[in-house]
């Protein structure tokens, strides 16, 4: 999944990459706003069905179709639904989201947020929306937007 994350329009490799983007970005345009968002406990609040739908969207866009999207989705579903852990001497089964520390966790979370971003950009009626959002970390985004009055949210 990590190679797919790198294809997201909002992908930023690291802080240096972010600094390069900001250096070249003009904040002087009065028709732009910047907003940030934070998704509290992102890994554990991603509904499994919506997360898998996001994965399917990106898997279906791949040019190389092996393994199939269905195979990859089934493997992701197993990771999401067969996670048990112990805490305080008790055993628990995680029923939603992806476990912290899971190898697929960062990519899964990035693709989920990337899918939300894709839906937002596809459904907004804002004119001249700059779709080059800058996702700084998983659960934080900083996309330049036109003024609030031109957004139909």
> What DSSP assignment string belongs to 52-81?
HHHHHHHHHT-SS--S-HHHHHHHHHHHHH
> How many other C-beta atoms lie within 10 A of the C-beta of residue 25?
15
Residue-wise pLDDT for 129-143, tens only, equals 554 444 444 444 445
Please report the pLDDT score of residue 27 as a whole number.
Answer: 66
Whether residue 89 has pLDDT greater than 90: yes
* Cα–Cα distance for residue pair 94/115, rounded to 1 Å: 23
Please report the pLDDT score of residue 29 as a whole number.
Answer: 66
Measure the CA angle with vertex 76, ends 116 and 60; round to 5°.
55
Q: At 109, is the secondary structure helix, strand, or coil?
A: helix
Please report the pLDDT score of residue 23 as a whole number.
Answer: 82
pTM of the shown model: 0.76
Could you give the residue ranges of the DSSP H alpha helices within the chain?
A: 2-5, 15-24, 42-45, 48-60, 69-81, 105-123
pLDDT-derived band at 74 (thresholds 50, 70, 90) equals very high
Please report the pLDDT score of residue 70 as a whole number.
Answer: 98
Average pLDDT score over the chain: 81
């Amino acid at each position: 999944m990590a190679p797919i994350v790198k294809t997201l329009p909002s992908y930023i490799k690291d802080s240096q990459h972010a600094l390069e983007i900001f250096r070249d970005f003009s904040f002087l345009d009065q028709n732009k706003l910047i907003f940030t968002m934070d998704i509290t406990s992102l890994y554990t609040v991603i509904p499994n069905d919506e997360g898998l739908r996001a994965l399917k969207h990106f898997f279906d866009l791949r040019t190389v179709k092996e393994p199939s999207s269905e195979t990859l989705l089934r493997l992701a579903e197993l990771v999401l639904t067969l996670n048990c852990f112990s805490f305080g001497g008790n055993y628990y089964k995680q029923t939603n989201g992806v476990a912290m520390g899971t190898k697929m966790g960062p990519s899964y979370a990035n693709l989920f947020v990337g899918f939300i971003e894709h839906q937002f950009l596809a459904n907004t009626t804002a004119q001249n929306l700059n779709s080059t959002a800058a996702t700084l970390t998983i659960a934080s985004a900083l996309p330049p937007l036109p003024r609030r009055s031109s957004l139909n949210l």
